[in-house]
Amino acid sequence: MTKTSTPRERNLTFAVLLIGTLISSLLQTALTTALPDIIKEFNVTANAGQWLTSGFSLAMGIMIPATAFLIKRLPTKVLFIASMLLFGGGSLLAALAPNFVLLLVGRIIQSMGTGILLSLTQVVILTIYPPAQQGGVMGIYGLAASAAPIIAPTITGFLIDYMSWRVIFWTGFAVAAADVVLALIVVKNVLPTEKLRFDLPSFLLISTAFTGITLGFGNLGTAPFFSMTIALPLALALVAGAAFVYRDLHVDQPLLDLRVFKDRVFRTAVILSVLMYAVLMAVSTIFPIYVQTVHHLSATMSGLIMMPGALAMAVLSPITGRLYDRFGIRPLAIVGVLLMLVSTVGTSFLTTSTSIAYLMITWAMRSMGLAFLMMPMVTWSVTQLSGGAIASASAVLTTLRTVAGAVGASIGVALMSFVANQGNTSAHAVVATATGVNAAFIAMAVIVAIMAVIVLVNVRTVKHTAVVAAGKE
């Protein structure tokens, strides 16, 4: 593989990519605390507003399968600059958006750049640095990629309270523009390219399937199930998904190699990860709405309530990695799913007078549970795979859990809105919102309970690795 010639060139390239990673990761979660203000400013429903987060996740999930092709087909410098131009262009459109529709379009364009960038950066790091340095550099990258989403809600809260939510996007645009200039000077073409044919039919099929699922479930509660807005998108998703699976198993170079599902451990890990991300995105979207709408607290306070849990997750993540090496997946999965279950059940009976300390503690418990599950589950998912199968499994897992987050946010907000609307009067709007939030959290608690059963029955520590190649038993 082509490598940069000097340590200075490697470090400069890494620094430019890291800047892009930081700002794109920051904007992933920045709107969680801004959502109530945006909903109010554009006079849209919570169902519509949640598309700023679920739409971002959906578009990012769709881009991940395409990115594997783009990395092999386009020069490194061209692809990185293209990803930052997409991110910067989306940020500019969102900053200037006079209406909600253009804001959503800008958000989706932004997410396409993010989807390319996060995948590209990891591949470049593992290419330009020798094996002895890869662990340390990936540690820096991982810390940056995880720290930005952690601090984003609090930063956003300050900006909203003292300036405007549009400043978030102006900042993204400014950093992206500066990073493009640096990339023109610093970034080299470090990855080999080859002429490949892009499987456009598969890409269109999987895009239709993911979009249909998210749209259909996102409209639950707003219309009868057998309607054009619910049944039709879900039917299209079912047909497109079936066609994608059939094509994927019958082409020489599949867009996503589904044959990795032959491994039982991987199947179990995917199911748990999909359910976990659905719950994660749902509660992350609903929680700030509850804090700001029911308690009438500022966006800053909303971010500060979430901060201890986010910091606990950041501290625990590397520790759980070492615990996984020593004890295996089962004890970590049990602790993680129980923490998530207790915290989710604990937020299923919130009122207008629930204390801030209680909210902070339950959110921290949920975050700690995620730390015990998230990365250990990814590591465990490939314990019996090797070679190309690991790369295929990683792409499948990342794609499905990202889209699951979009679906989870859509379902959670749809359920919250539906229940809240049943008892909503001008005199009881706040109580109705709290009731809707509780209904959504009860549904999430049921999902976590299902996860707990799967963990207790199917998750076992793999003591002896059996190598499984893609496409073979």
Same domain, 248 and 285: no
Q: Domain with 187 in it: what CATH number?
A: 1.20.1250.20
What average pLDDT does range 298-324 have in this prediction? Answer: 80
Mean pLDDT of the chain: 82
Whether residue 296 has pLDDT greater than 80? yes
Same domain, 41 and 182: yes
> 60 lies in which domain range?
1-195
Same domain, 78 and 129: yes
Same domain, 229 and 343: no
Same domain, 209 and 185: no
First to last CA, the chain: 31
Of 394, 368, 372, 399, nearest in space to 381 by CA: 394
Rounded Cα distance between 25 and 83, Å, is: 13
| Domain end call among 149, 171, 195 | 195
Instruction: Point out which residues pair with 385 in neighbouring strands.
Output: 468
Same domain, 393 and 430: yes
pLDDT, tens only, 14-34: 889 889 888 887 887 777 777
What average pLDDT does range 95-117 have in this prediction? Answer: 91
Q: For the chain, give the percent of residues with pLDDT over 70.
A: 88
Place of tokens 């080859």: 194
Same domain, 271 and 233: no
Q: What is the pLDDT of residue 253?
A: 79
Whether residue 472 has pLDDT greater than 80? no
Q: What is the pLDDT of residue 135?
A: 56
Q: Which residue has the higher pLDDT, 284 or 453?
A: 453
Same domain, 136 and 15: yes
Instruction: Point out which residues pair with 220 in neighbouring strands.
Output: 223
Contact 402, 60 (CB under 8 A): yes
Whether residue 300 has pLDDT greater than 60? yes
Q: What is the pLDDT of residue 425?
A: 56
pLDDT, tens only, 392-436: 777 788 788 888 888 888 888 888 888 887 765 555 677 888 888
Same domain, 225 and 274: no
Query: Domain count of the chain?
Result: 3
Q: What is the pLDDT of residue 3?
A: 46
Report residue 462's pLDDT band, with 50, 70 and 90 as the boundaries.
low
Rounded Cα distance between 473 and 469, Å, is: 8
Of 17, 223, 43, 59, nearest in space to 67 by CA: 59
Q: For the chain, give the percent of residues with pLDDT over 90.
A: 28
Whether residue 134 has pLDDT greater than 80? no
| Domain end call among 224, 252, 280 | 252
Same domain, 301 and 331: yes
Report residue 222's pLDDT band, with 50, 70 and 90 as the boundaries.
low
pTM of the full structure = 0.79
Q: Which of 94-108, 352-366, 383-397 has the lowest mean pLDDT?
A: 383-397
Which two three-digit tokens encode residue 297?
């607290």
Same domain, 163 and 20: yes
Same domain, 331 and 371: yes
